[in-house]
A and B are shown apart, each in its own frame.
Chain A
Amino acid sequence: DAGVTQSPTHLIKTRGQQVTLRCSPKSGHDTVSWYQQALGQGPQFIFQYYEEEERQRGNFPDRFSGHQFPNYSSELNVNALLLGDSALYLCASSLPVPTDTQYFGPGTRLTVL
Chain B
Amino acid sequence: QKEVEQNSGPLSVPEGAIASLNCTYSDRGSQSFFWYRQYSGKSPELIMSIYSNGDKEDGRFTAQLNKASQYVSLLIRDSQPSDSATYLCAGLLNDYKLSFGAGTTVTVRA
List residues of A whose CB falls within 8 A of some B CB: 33, 35, 40-45, 48, 55-56, 58, 88, 90, 92, 97-107
Contacts and interface: CB of A to CB of B under 8 A. Distances in A.
Given A42-B88, A101-B49, A106 B98 contact: no
Interface in B31-57: 32, 34, 36, 42-46, 49
Contacts of B32: 98, 100
Contacts of A43: 44, 88, 98, 100
B92 A100 contact: yes
Given A99-B95, A100-B32, A101-B49, A40 B44 contact: no
A57 to B, nearest CB: 9
Contact of B98 (A55, A88, A92, A105): A92
Contacts of A97: 95
Nearest to B4: A42
Contacts, number: 60
The residue in A40, A42, A56, A88 that gathers the most chain B C-beta atoms within 10 A of its C-beta is: A42
B78 to A, nearest CB: 26
Nearest to A88: B43
Given A33-B96, A42-B100, A101-B49, 9 more contacts: A42-B4, A42-B101, A43-B98, A48-B97, A56-B96, A99-B92, A102-B34, A103-B46, A104-B43
B100 A104 contact: no
A101 to B, nearest CB: 6
29 contacts: A33-B98, A35-B98, A41-B103, A42-B88, A42-B101, A42-B102, A42-B103, A43-B88, A43-B100, A44-B100, A45-B98, A45-B99, A48-B96, A55-B96, A56-B94, A56-B97, A88-B43, A90-B43, A97-B95, A98-B92, A101-B34, A102-B34, A102-B46, A103-B46, A104-B36, A104-B44, A104-B46, A105-B43, A107-B43
